[in-house]
Chains A and B, each alone.
Chain A
Amino acid sequence: MTAQALARDDLGALFDALRAEGYRVVGPTLRDDAIVLADLRGPEDLPAGWTVRQGPGTYRVERRDDEALFGFAVGQHSWKGFLFPSRERLVEMRREDGALEHRPAARDAAPLAFLGVRGCDLAAIEVQDRTFMRGRHVDPGYDARRRAAFVVAVDCLEAGDLCFCASMGTGPGVERGFDLRLTELGPRFLVAVGSARGASVAARLPLRAAPAGDERRRRDGLDDARAHMGRTMQADDLPGLLFGNLDHPRWDDVAARCLACANCTLVCPTCFCFSVETVSDLSGTEARRDRAWDSCFTVQHGQIHGATFRPRIKDRYRQWLTHKLGAWVSQFGVSGCTGCGRCIAWCPVGIDLTEEVAAIRATSRPAVAMPPPPAPAPAVREPMVPATARVTAVRRETDDVVTLRIAHEIAFRPGQFHMLGLPAIGEVPISIAGGDGRSVDHTIRAVGAVSGALAALEPGHALGIRGPFGSAWPLEACVGRPVVVVAGGVGLAPLRAALDTMAARPLDYPSVRLLYGARTPADLLFTDDLQRWAADPRFAVRVTVDHAGADWRGDVGVVTRLITDVPPDAVALVCGPEMMMGFSVRALCAAGLPAERAYVSMERNMACAVAHCGRCQLGPYFVCRDGPVFRFDRIARLFDQEGF
């Protein structure tokens, strides 16, 4: 097919054609001394004759010598603002007369046409597609908006001061993924069609054959842009390199400059972390869950009740960069950076990630191996809308711990967890402590607002339940081997279903040793179960507490004291506070157990449990998706690393 062109003066026809096909046109326009993305009435709203000058921490619009319509590099806005809005309602809940209803929030998926999508930004959209559409759980709002969106891409024939798309392989030309592509060549646009939808819009345009040489002018323009990138960054080996250098002194250096203002994450077109807030009317009848952009630079991002995993700015900057350039590849199979340069311009103190990476590379220690991305799984839709279930029985375990039995027909694997929620209060991850196919048990310690409200439920009360989520204890790998179970505190709850499975299958599990530590005898959970297991000749149950009165006949002392004589072929399942798990695994390894036969269950902050909200990251993993149960050797390096 011969190349086709649209005269600059006919650009209005593109707006008309897009509107005729039902699209609302959004694109770049000059507003308040910046080029932003907004609704466009027609070509007159495009920033004709404007360009931008950028440097670390600076962004200025300037007049050009010509009247080019797309002669500028990307600004603070990106298309993520349209596909993944900064605030969005997810779930609506109604509670009336004891009935509780959950429904997906109404979504506005009016089709948008994105006019002027650069290579880096189209790549960024595809990066976010992997988070919200291509994983096991599909975000229905994102999915609808993305499928409806029409992409008019624009080639970059001039590189910006901070661009490094050529290094990241995302630009300056746009070769695929568009509906229509424009290349601005003075008085006309070279037009390429990339899809059936694009062809149908193109059919409405007054296109003419492009003059001979336009294709070559495009290629020369792209070569020129490639040769004049403002920045470069070698990226292919960064995952292993950054994770091999978590103690590099440069992290302290950059932390001394970084303000933890979160600008970089907000302007970055691929950053996807969000928080979930519960909002309700005064009566509590109507409630909803909204999500809002969050950032790994906030303290809450890495916080659970009473613990802050990334307390220092150093931890948070390192989290950002190791995620963006490293962990992303393990999580999604692609780098989280497209080379757009936004984070450099919009950082108030001008931190330049290409410089930081170069400094680390210059004096780096060897790279480490990184895990591959997970295999594709069948998609689950509406992952954020809970089912309604009812409590059928409540058992008080200790002063602040109860076990709820909830009528809920579900298959789960021991070690997995549910998100349990109450409409006007919130939602939290709670492990499944048992179940029989018709009901599930959840053992909850009241430590805060949500867990406190859940622990106060009574038989007949309704709650929201999502899941099950996450990985399970490796019960199949334990078949025929001695199993050592080490539990601390409420950490026995996630192990209870696994212990019951082993109790029910005597031939598969000939020897199970349960070593259980708690604070005091009054804090012991599941005392009936402990007696039942202890009565089974295949089980050896030892219980130790940190403090006890004289009437206690069990052991006193930390649980690691019970770890002796570990059979060399054993598998160990460990759950409890992170500190206790660390000491326990070390004691198991000292007793001869290889780390690849120790499994731990990790806890991190979670808002979604479906690998969308980004909060439960643990290096290359999501705790909700790749955990909570991990083989210890896979996370050993992070386990000993402060600030993860």
Chain B
Amino acid sequence: MQDGVAAAMESLDLFRQLTEAQRRSLAALARLEDLPQDAVLLRTGEASARLWVVLEGRVALSLDVPGAVEALLLTLGRGELVGWSSMLPAPRPRAVANARALEPARLLAFDAGDLQRLCEADHEIGWVVMRSVLAAVGRRLTETRLQLLDVYGKRP
């Protein structure tokens, strides 16, 4: 299993910046999760305790809209993070969206508490991890802005 983790981590751009040794310390905290289609990773309102990296398949983020059908917000694929808010300092926010596997998926899962402790203890690793989280969040913010522009919509 841990071999699988190491190989997966090596194949991801996300961890390129780390040395072999640093990658090993991170890998020690991670495990592979294989999810069937429609498996739920996160549910709105629950405190999220894990950070995932998608390896295969796609994960959908969705929002429960009262009185309407569930709205899909974003689909995430290989190399993308799910549950980044688990990396925020305590008190950890509750999930504001659902996350579920759109199709059978394989993910790399970290326990957020362990990961935060490692980052605290080893700031070299912490810096790389936090920068990756920030890059993912920043990208998502930019893309959300584009979505908000509604460029395909009928212009008034």
Contacts and interface: CB of A to CB of B under 8 A. Distances in A.
Interface of A: 305-307, 400, 447, 488-490, 517-519, 523, 544, 546-558, 560-561, 576-577, 579-580, 583
B71 A576 contact: no
A305 B154 CA distance: 9
Query: Which of A306, A447, A557, A577 gathers most chain B CB within 10 Å?
Result: A557
Nearest to B139: A561
Contact of B72 (A447, A488, A552): A552
B150 A519 contact: yes
A523 B70 CA distance: 18
Contact of B154 (A306, A517, A555, A579): A306
A523 B71 contact: no
Contacts of A576: 151-152
A445 B109 CA distance: 46
A40 to B, nearest CB: 52
Contacts of A556: 60, 72-75
B66 interface: no
Contact of B146 (A306, A548, A558): A558
Contacts of A580: 146, 151-152
Nearest to B102: A553
Given A560-B146, A583-B146, A550 B72 contact: yes
A333 to B, nearest CB: 37
8 contacts: A306-B155, A489-B151, A519-B150, A550-B71, A555-B58, A556-B72, A558-B143, A558-B147
A489 B62 contact: no
Nearest to A306: B155
B146 to A, nearest CB: 5
Contacts of B1: none
A447 B156 CA distance: 9
B143 A523 contact: no
Contact of B71 (A306, A489, A547, A560): A547
A577 B146 CA distance: 12
B149 interface: yes
B75 A518 contact: no
A547 B73 CA distance: 6
B75 A579 contact: no
B69 interface: yes
B71 A548 contact: yes
B91 interface: no
Contact of B151 (A447, A547, A577): A577
A307 B155 contact: yes
A561 B146 CA distance: 11
B89 to A, nearest CB: 28
A305 B155 contact: yes
B152 A489 contact: yes
Contact of A518 (B60, B70, B152): B152
B153 interface: yes
Complex A-B, nearest 8 residue pairs according to Cβ-Cβ distance, in ascending order: A306-B155, A489-B152, A550-B70, A519-B152, A577-B151, A548-B72, A556-B72, A558-B146
Interface of B: 58, 60, 62, 69-75, 77, 102-103, 143, 146-147, 149-156
A557 B153 contact: no
A306 B156 contact: yes
Nearest to A307: B155
Given A305-B155, A306-B155, A518-B152, A549 B71 contact: yes
A307 B153 CA distance: 12
Given A488-B151, A556-B72, A550 B143 contact: no
Contacts of B72: 547-550, 552, 556
Nearest to B74: A557
A546 B150 contact: yes
Contacts of B154: 306, 400, 447
Given A547-B71, A583-B146, 5 more contacts: A306-B155, A306-B156, A519-B150, A554-B75, A576-B151
A305 B70 CA distance: 33
Contacts of B103: 553
A579 B69 CA distance: 30
Contact of A546 (B60, B102, B147): B147
Query: Which of B71, B75, B151 gathers most chain A CB within 10 Å?
Result: B151
A583 B139 CA distance: 13
A579 B148 CA distance: 12
Contacts of B71: 547-550
Nearest to B153: A519
Contacts of B102: 553
Nearest to A517: B152
Contact of A557 (B69, B147, B151, B156): B147
Nearest to A488: B152
A208 to B, nearest CB: 71
A579 B149 contact: yes
A439 B74 CA distance: 40
B62 A550 contact: yes
A177 B3 CA distance: 85
A579 to B, nearest CB: 5
A488 B146 CA distance: 13
A547 B151 CA distance: 12
A553 B103 CA distance: 9
Contacts of A579: 146, 149, 151
A551 B71 CA distance: 9
Contacts of A547: 71-72, 147
B71 to A, nearest CB: 7
Contacts of A488: 151-152
A561 B152 CA distance: 16
Contacts of A551: 69
Contacts of A305: 155
Contacts of B152: 488-490, 517-519, 523, 546, 576-577, 580
A605 to B, nearest CB: 14
A546 B145 CA distance: 11
A449 to B, nearest CB: 14
A556 B140 CA distance: 12
A400 B153 CA distance: 11
Contacts of A307: 155
Contacts of B151: 488-489, 576-577, 579-580
Query: Which of B72, B102, B149, B154 gathers most chain A CB within 10 Å?
Result: B72
Nearest to B103: A553
A523 B153 CA distance: 10
B58 A550 contact: no
Nearest to B149: A579
Contacts of B62: 550
A357 B107 CA distance: 62
Contacts of A552: 72
B64 to A, nearest CB: 10
A546 B74 CA distance: 8
Contacts of B150: 519, 546
Contacts of B143: 557-558, 560-561
Contacts of A447: 154-155
Nearest to A552: B72
A315 B97 CA distance: 44
Given A488-B151, A556-B60, A561-B143, A550 B75 contact: no
